[in-house]
Each structure stands twice: as structure tokens, then as C-alpha cells.
Structure 1
Amino acid sequence: MNQFLKNCRSLLTQQVSRIVVIGNESCDLDSAVCSICLAFHLSKCPSLFNSFRNYHFIPVLNVSRKDLPLKTEVVFYLHENNISIRDLICNDEIELPEAMSNETKLILVDHHLSKYRQNVIGVIDHRPFDSYSNLNENVYKHIELVGSCASLVLRIIDQSNVLKKNKADYISTLNLLYGAIILDTFNLSKQADKARKTDIEMVQLVEQNLCLCDVTNRRQTLLEILIAKRSDVSSLNSLQILSKDSKTVVRKGLTVLIPGYPLLVQDYVKLEDAEINLQKFARMTGANVIVLIGMRMDLAKNDNANMRRDLGIINVNNQDLFQKILKELTSNNTVDLCLEKNNEIEFLGGAFYDQRNVVYTRKQILPLICDIMDKF
């Protein structure tokens, strides 16, 4: 794997035809390992994209080099699996064309909305398809509502039969994808209701191929370690926490930012300079409204009773959009967040709620906001 990554970095200075495999802008563990592992696999077995056999597959982390340390669980787990961080390519270290290009194509993993859509040849994603993506009709699409995109990448690898022929080269790949699935599904928790049949099958596939023992304890220990690393924001200030895991929705010249916290919103607002840094974040990103999504989980007991979620909606400079988002999130019957107003928080005139239905995450909230902005 490391030799592959080193070779990819060397290609940055060469005039070659390349296919960039890139995850979403939050660059969480799922996105990061999917981009690395899929690019590695396609470099060995490009059969899904036969017409591009002369291209080089290059994984790119969708984060700048300076912001990579903010992705604490990503950096930790890559180190744990002996992946060379210095050889990984970040999004500010490679030129990605927005206009049509014959030299550079893209495969999107863990998302399918991209400003590079004219160059997209493939999508592997685990969220509902958004017609706003405007992808070309001939784009390869593997979209399935599972808990982790890593499960879809792993199934592609398994279906190619390479694990039967050359398992030794895929040890790092299996471990990386395994961790992402365990984290994204909260260890296949029935209470969290994120894991699907494919996720369960792919976790078992890894355990069988790596001959893992005592898998019950192994899974739980891995989950606890990854959650602890993701939640460790002790070295980050209140601006860096906003940048750690944020999604952007842009429609008709309007922008909504949706940062996901590894802590509750009600705890974030108490941090030093939180108001100043949220306003700075809004200026940096051009946000009109910011929707803050917080979560805290008691690692001692992996069940819903010990998981808490909350959210806050901040109007930056568009009262109408703010009100529409507020109304939709508090009254939608299909995605009923079971919000209870938290009147104790006074922060930039925002509206704050405890979310009693902890099953719903940003993955379900994001389409609601997209729909609002499409109709705005």
C-alpha cells in the first residue's frame, strides 16, 4: 500500500492521464479510507473502468494538508495501520479541473455532489441519490443505502475475486475498511439502526479473511478507540472544531453550512471565543445559515439511552431561509427528529434543540435542507 501511495505522489509532477478517487469534504474516516482503498484496488483490478485502463488511479483526501490534523480519528487510524501520511495527497496538492478534461477524471466515494461533475466517471455512495448532482448519464453509479460506504467498496473488492488470489496485498485495505464500517455503524448497533445486511456481511468477510478471534470484544474495543480519537478535540480551538467535519449545501447563490460536532452543541457554545469563531467561520465560507449538529455517546454502554444528540440553527444574514429551515426541521413528519426546545442557550440569536430521536443523523437532515433550498 505505501509503495502505491509513494508512486501516486510521484505522478503529481508527471504529465499522465489520471483518475482521482476522492471522498467528501468532511474527510471523515469512511471517506478517507474509501478513497485510498478503492484507488489501490482499481490500480490492480481496473475492470470496472475498462475504457480507462491507460489511466493511473490516484487517491486524494478531500482536505487541505494544514487541516488534515483536525481529522483526529483519520490520522490515528492511518498511523495504526502503518500508512505513510506524508505520501498521501491532499486536495490542495493536486490541480483538479472543473471544466471538461481528458487528462483528469474523477471517481467520487461517499458523496455524489461535486463541482467537478463534468469529469466524474464513477460514484460509490451510501446516501439517497440527489438529482441536483447533474451527473452524466454514462457515469458508473453504485449507490446503496447502507451504514458505511466502506461496505460498498469492500463488496466491489470481494466481487473481483482478488481476495482469493492475492489476499496478502489487501491486509491493510481490509483493516482500513473494517474500522470505517465499525465506526460508521456504531459496531453494527441495532439501536443506532445504521447497519444494514451488507455492512454485517462485509464485517464478517474481513474477520474471516484476517482470521480474527474474539470478534465481539475486538469490534467493541475498536469502536471505543475510534470514537475517543474522533471526540478528542482538546487540542483544537472553537474555530478548528467547526472545520473538523462540516458539510456545505449551495443552491441559487445561497450557502448553508452543517458542521457535525464530536460533542454536544450545548457544550460547544461554552467554549472560548465560540461566538467570535462561528462568525469568522461564516465569513470564511460565505454561509447564510449554519446548522450545528452535536452528538455525545457514553462509551460504557453502546445503546440509544446513552447517546445524545442536539442541534442549533444560526441565522447569519438570511432570515427567510433561517425560518424555513427552522420550520422544516421542527415539523417534518417523515424525518421526525423529536426536537425539544432548549431555552437555556443564548448564542447569536440562534434556535437550539435537544434531539430525542437519536437514530436520525446529518445524513437524514442534509436532504431536508437541500429540498428547502431547491424550492427557495
Structure 2
Amino acid sequence: MSTMTPISSLKSFLITARKALLSPPSSGTKPLTFVIGNESADLDSLCSAIALAYLRSHIPPHNKLHIPLANLYRPDLVLRPEMGAVLKKAGVEFDDLLTLTEFDQVEDLEPQDTRWVLVDHNALTGSLRDRFGDRVVGCVDHHDDEGVVPLETGDEPRIVQKCGSCMTLVAKSGGDVWRTMADQMQRDQVAQLAHLVLGPILIDTTNLTSKDKTTPTDVRAVESVEGVLKELGVRYDRDAYHKELSLLKEDLSSLSYRDIFRKDYKSWKEGGFKLGTSSVSQGLHYLLERIGEKDKLLTELKKWADEQELDIVTIFTTLHPQGGFARELMVWALNDKAVKVVKDFVKSNSETLGLETWEDGQLDDTSSASQWRACWRQLRTEHSRKQTAPMLREAMKRA
């Protein structure tokens, strides 16, 4: 049984996790317990996986090692500079993380040699689902419950609750552990863990100002962690931290369209269709002016859809006009059967989402039966991909 005593720094913890993953497993270390975020691998998923694995590795009496795994391949880490900034404050670097690149290097790791705890989702996707879907033993998530994780999870958590950030639930679930650990950790270790926790919550709730996302649970989580920093006399400026991360997340000027599409990407298969969704932290005007004009956008999006073998591809954008908050949505059906799905989605959800044609239909193409594309301003901004993707999936199921 691998143990994590005495309390280690985040960096030391990740070194221990790497050794456990890459060393040949012995009968005494099986099964390995992995903690993994969703395939978009955004700030919330990546940080939540590290934090939950760290906290649960220090729960007595067993202190069973939980290995945090980033649900992306190593080359994709560079697309997330905001993650790099959080890691720096947490005393670690990209090189310290474990990704699917390292996971794929492990030979002879059978499903029965693993246990999986999910954060920021509650159903494995893609090739991981095919191999390890029945090895999921717990979850901490703020999306709709898909009913996949067993109701009885033994010593692992099963938490599915709506709030702005999954990290809020991680902090809440590990509250007692956090306080016990804080008493035994060095001052800088506590500060590092605090910054890891605070970063994604501030980003996901727009510094606790988003009326659509922020819940009292998010506020309490931030105030609790900030209270620890204050007690320790750690210099910390919430507004400055949020601004630093926001600027890094929203600067897409050095990326290609393909990089932007894969930076925060999720896909699902339902009813014989495959849906791919990309969330983008800038608006369409920004993309067209900074990254490439209309023809370039559409050509690269079609290439991405073909590469991912999609029937439907979507772009969800967020933007901040005059300091406000807005959303846009583009949906592109790529074959005749998918066209019927998308039209059903629009008919069923247009009013709920507050869809208003974007710029007189400049990006639309609704004249063909074999393909169909439309773009809207989404006036009901409370509906993010978290709510809209299930609407599309329901239309896929109905087809």
C-alpha cells in the first residue's frame, strides 16, 4: 500500500505519483487509483484533479495514494498559459504533471489494476471509457448526473452538485482534511495549495461576480481558503490574481484555429452521431480579425471536424463587451441526418437559449439539405456548454 506521510509539498506529491505510475506495479500497489478531469482539460478540470488527488492521498488511516492524471496529451499543455501561471504559484511546473502521454507509456496495465475517480465530469469519454468505464469508483462534479457512477462508492466520494466551479466541491469535500493538513504543513505549502484551489474558482465565476454561475457554495469556498491565507499572513490580492489568469486565458492571438478548437474541446457520441464542441474565450469578431477571416475560419473548422470524425461541430464563445458578458453559438451539421438533428435542436431550444442571428447571417449556410450551419448571439447567457451540449445530445437521441 502506497502511503503519503508525512505531508509533502505538491511538487513532492507529484513526483511520488509519477514513480507509482511509471514503476512496474507490484501486487502490493495494485490497484492504482487515478483522479482525472474531463477531456476539455480546462483550468478547473486540471487543478481539481491535482487538488482532489492530493487531499485524498492524505486521508487517514490508509493515506492511499491517488494519482492525478491530466486528460490531454503533453503537447496540449502549452495551449493553457493560465494553467502554467497557477502551477507556478503552486510551486510546480508543466513537467511535473502526468498526462495521457505518460499513461500510454505504461505497459501491461489492465483495467482490473485500476480504480478511477472523476472530477468535473461523471462519465468517462473516448478511449478511456471503452477500457476503464466499469472501473469508476467515485466522482466530484457540478454537471448533470448521467447516472453512470455507482451510487455506492465505498471509501470514495460521489458528489454531484450544481455550482460555479468543480474546485468548489473539491475544497468542500476535503474541508476537514484541508484544515488538519494546514496545521501540519509549512506556510508556503499551504499558500501553494490555496492558490491551486482559488485560481479555477475565480475564473469560472468571473471573480465571484457572475450572477449566472456563482453560488453561495463558491463564495464560502473562496472565503474559507482566503481566510487561511490571511491567518498565515500571506500576501494575496483576489482581483489581481483573477486579472492575471483572465488575461492569459483570453489571449488567443498566438494560436492557430486548430489550436483554438482543441484548447477546450469535448465530444460525445449519442444515437449514432458524434458531436464535437469547442469553447472559446473570445468572440467571433476577435477570431475573424486576429486569427483569420471567414473562409479561413470555416475551412479550418471543417478540417477539425473531419479530423475528429464529427457529424456536428459547435463553437461556444464568451466575450466581455464594455465590461459586460455575452455568448455566441455556432452549430454546423455536416451530413443530411445531422441536419435533421440540428434543426430539431434549434426548434426545441431557440427560445430557451435566446438565439438571435449573428451579424445578419454572415456565417450561416442553411440552403443545403446535406449540410447546415448557423450562428447566433445567445441572449440567455446563463446557459453555457454545460447546459447547451445536453440539449444537443437529447436531439441526437431523438433522431
- Name the TM-score, length of structure 2 as normaliser: 0.82
| SS of the residue 1:260 aligns to | strand
Structure-2 residue corresponding to 1:159 = 176
Please tell me the residue identity of whatever aligns with 1:175: H
- The reply to whether residue 77 of structure 1 matches residue 86 of structure 2 is yes
Task: Summarize deviations over 1:190-216 as a string: whole Å, max 9, x none.
Answer: x5321111111110001110107999x
Q: Which runs of 5+ in 2 are unaligned?
A: 1-9, 366-371
Structure-1 residue corresponding to 2:369 = none
Contact 1:266 1:345 in 2 (8 A): no
Task: Summarize deviations over 1:10-46 as a string: whole Å, max 9, x none.
Answer: 2212313211110011111111111111111111116
Matches within 5 A, 1:304-319: 306-317=324-335, 319=336
Aligned equivalent of 1:28, options 42, 45, 54: 42
Matches within 5 A, 1:270-349: 271-272=291-292, 273-298=296-321, 301=323, 306-317=324-335, 319-329=336-346, 331-332=348-349, 336-342=352-358, 343-346=360-363
Query: Over aligned residue pairs, what C-alpha RMSD do you find?
Result: 2.7
Structure-1 residue corresponding to 2:161 = 144
Structure-2 residue corresponding to 1:368 = 391
Contact 2:279 2:385 in 1 (8 A): yes
Q: Which moved more, 1:109-118 or 1:8-17?
A: 8-17
Structure-2 residue corresponding to 1:353 = 376
Aligned equivalent of 2:193, options 166, 173, 181: 173
Distance 1:329 1:251, change over 3 A: same
Q: Structure 1 vs Structure 2: percent identity of aligned residues?
A: 25
| SS of the residue 2:241 aligns to | helix
Shift of 1:163: 4.6
Q: Which moved more, 1:87-96 or 1:171-180?
A: 87-96
Distance 1:60 1:267, change over 3 A: same
Shift of 1:130: 1.5
Q: Using the alignment, how far apart are the partners of 2:82 and 2:347 within structure 1?
A: 32
Q: Using the alignment, how far apart are the partners of 1:121 and 1:332 within structure 2?
A: 34
- Name the TM-score, length of structure 1 as normaliser: 0.87
Q: Using the alignment, how far apart are the partners of 1:57 and 1:14 within structure 2?
A: 17
Corresponding pairs, count: 359
Structure-2 residue corresponding to 1:247 = 266
Structure-2 residue corresponding to 1:50 = none
Structure 1's consecutive aligned runs of 4 or more residues displaced over 4 angstroms after TM superposition are: 212-215
- The reply to whether residue 183 of structure 1 matches residue 203 of structure 2 is yes
Q: Using the alignment, how far apart are the partners of 2:382 and 2:339 within structure 1?
A: 24
Distance 1:20 1:357, change over 3 A: same
Q: Using the alignment, how far apart are the partners of 1:171 and 1:187 within structure 2?
A: 19
Task: Summarize deviations over 1:74-131 as a string: whole Å, max 9, x none.
Answer: 122212332132121011211489x973321111000012113211111000112013
Largest Rg, 1 or 2:
2
Q: Which moved more, 1:5-14 or 1:242-251?
A: 5-14
Matches within 5 A, 1:48-197: 53=62, 55-95=64-104, 101-114=111-124, 115=129, 116-131=132-147, 134-139=148-153, 140-160=157-177, 161-163=179-181, 165-168=183-186, 169-189=189-209, 191-197=210-216
Contact 1:265 1:293 in 2 (8 A): no
Q: Using the alignment, how far apart are the partners of 2:391 and 2:313 within structure 1?
A: 14
